[in-house]
Structure 1
């Protein structure tokens, strides 16, 4: 009997797997996959739950992989939801609940497609599912842990599809063949506290910090490339913690986030920020410290056989040929790109992370059909 992806989605939503809690979601998937003949291994690390599942021989000539996550962001106030956020209610042709869109439905669709495929047409090769519980968190012990474990065990995907939502408004309109890089810089300006009536006896860190932020924000990073939109820099916070209007604070802090294309790297942008900070420090006498966390570098999977195979399957099932895009935020594809060629295709993402998150039942079945067609074409090639 075919595995119903909509029913599996609803059951997964009923697992309260808010990062970093597993909530029973991976346990549920493991039971379904093992019943279909998949070899499953829990690859938990530092309290994060992950699941590796493989049908077929280890080290097979061809191993198609799916990647996704079962962890979800917090639902907020449950009273604001039409249906309880972990109820998995099916109503009005939709499945409601936290994770319905991002991305328990995607995981359910590729799990159902993989189960039916290996049962009905066992391929010459392997099908791998790498599912994490740490995508919405720090992402240090999720897909990274799975890939580390796979390397130690000699497991390998030859190609991988990440099932994140990729379509802005219509099923089939967009797939991702790359992502921008992402980094956060935290800046601390250290001066000397003093009375606002005697500013010459203090060293105010705020003008120095504001000068630096203005220079960074006004800088034109680039105009984009053939594969990427222009890079962006967003100031996200400025803090002093000063509640007194007659006191010059000793310290001020700020943070910014940069989404960057392939004209830059995390290292080059870090060097630029540090150089600008050093200039302002020299001009003002205010000590400025910069700390940077690079969440991922930009990457692209070049258009070709693999992207065409996925696009052809999407077009056949959705009547839309997806455009290739590198827009949006980050995903775990940023880790997989060092392991094998990777693309992303999934559902319409309009309600992800929102109150009353939901997914169309018909779209979940459609997505399963896309994934099934991709598997059939991949192993027939």
Structure 2
């Protein structure tokens, strides 16, 4: 029985130009490989986004190990700045180059290769489920959420789930994720009255009101962190009037803040706090202030236990490095999976993700397959 090569599979996936929302052939390729290995595959496309659900084993199995990943990639940026073909998967001095090499076609390839070999060589007493989306890098509206909706409708259930996002900052094996901070963005607009800057009493300047509001939000200490999370943060990312003139008081001013928050807060509680600040400043300056909020994901934590121990022990066995249990970084699709079952994340070193000349050492792809294979073996032991 042949061994599935994760390096070649990574290269084959990189050659699929799957910039969100394009499928690019990546999910078609995975469906072919998984179906040939005995996985029952179903396309779960929604809203112009391609998604793949695959299961090996009985639907009513007592233990089902899940994997979540994505094959969509971010745009190339300045293509002329690339020194290697962005979709060429060229290997130079042991390094494979291409968009998605790190984030996260290599992770998908490593797990698929491990899963195929596992079920063919040592069929487990249980089931494997893979949920692969084409909508992680964009708004994530029609991706993993569509797959989870499909699973709910079909009565499919993962006992636990591993997300294969890059998790290691610098060294293979050094970090895994047991949770993520929440993320939300808020947009504000203060409406004043335009006028000549030489006659400010005839205008209503929205800028001091916005400056006051932004200062109140940014200078407020949300918390001091928790056992598993750093302190929550709020960053003012833009303040703008669109006013090119130096002798005109503008009619309005807009600003945007981005908040990354831990499990002491929710999107709803932070929205209520920001609205109270808006109301106070609006009253002080006698100007209407509007606020619009988008919560990209709530914070969550999978408490250290059997699942994190299983992954950590497998990582250390292969790499010799005991991974830190972290909640740092941005959001991932684990924020959706956590509503379905316990979830942790482990993947490659992510230093070059989204960069020009994104790349991955080929030895790390092989290591990652070995880690995933050991996780599966020990889970079903």
Instruction: Check whether TM > 0.5.
Output: yes
User: Within the alignment, does 1:124 sit opposite 2:125 as a pair?
Assistant: yes
- Counterparts of 1:239 and 1:45, CA distance in 2: 36
User: Within the alignment, does 1:161 sit opposite 2:154 as a pair?
Assistant: no
- TM-superposed deviation, 1:319: 0.4
Deviations 1:98-118 (A, max 9, x none): 100000000000010001100
Q: Which residue of 2 aligns with 1:331?
A: 332
SS class of match (1:258): strand
The count of residues paired between Structure 1 and Structure 2 equals 380
* C-alpha contact (below 8 Å) 1:38/1:53 kept by paired residues: yes
- TM-superposed deviation, 1:59: 2.3
- Counterparts of 2:78 and 2:85, CA distance in 1: 10
Provide the TM-score with structure 1 as the length reference.
0.99
Q: Which residue of 2 aligns with 1:14?
A: 15
Gaps of 5+ in 2: none
* C-alpha contact (below 8 Å) 1:59/1:154 kept by paired residues: no
Q: Which residue of 2 aligns with 1:94?
A: 95
Q: Which residue of 2 aligns with 1:46?
A: 47
- TM-superposed deviation, 1:184: 0.4
- Counterparts of 1:191 and 1:60, CA distance in 2: 63
SS class of match (1:137): coil
Q: Which residue of 2 aligns with 1:355?
A: 356
Deviations 1:72-118 (A, max 9, x none): 11111111011011111111101101100000000000010001100
Provide the TM-score with structure 2 as the length reference.
0.99
Q: Which residue of 1 aligns with 2:314?
A: 313
User: Within the alignment, does 1:175 sit opposite 2:157 as a pair?
Assistant: no
Residues 86-95 or 345-354, more deviating? 86-95
Q: Which residue of 2 aligns with 1:277?
A: 278
- Counterparts of 1:30 and 1:331, CA distance in 2: 23
User: Within the alignment, does 1:195 sit opposite 2:196 as a pair?
Assistant: yes
User: Within the alignment, does 1:73 sit opposite 2:70 as a pair?
Assistant: no
Gaps of 5+ in 1: none
RMSD: 0.7
SS class of match (2:55): strand
Would you identify which runs of 4 or more consecutive aligned residues in structure 1 move more than 6 Å?
none
- TM-superposed deviation, 1:243: 1.5
- TM-superposed deviation, 1:357: 0.5
* C-alpha contact (below 8 Å) 1:37/1:55 kept by paired residues: yes
Q: Which residue of 1 aligns with 2:225?
A: 224
User: Within the alignment, does 1:293 sit opposite 2:284 as a pair?
Assistant: no
Q: Which residue of 2 aligns with 1:251?
A: 252
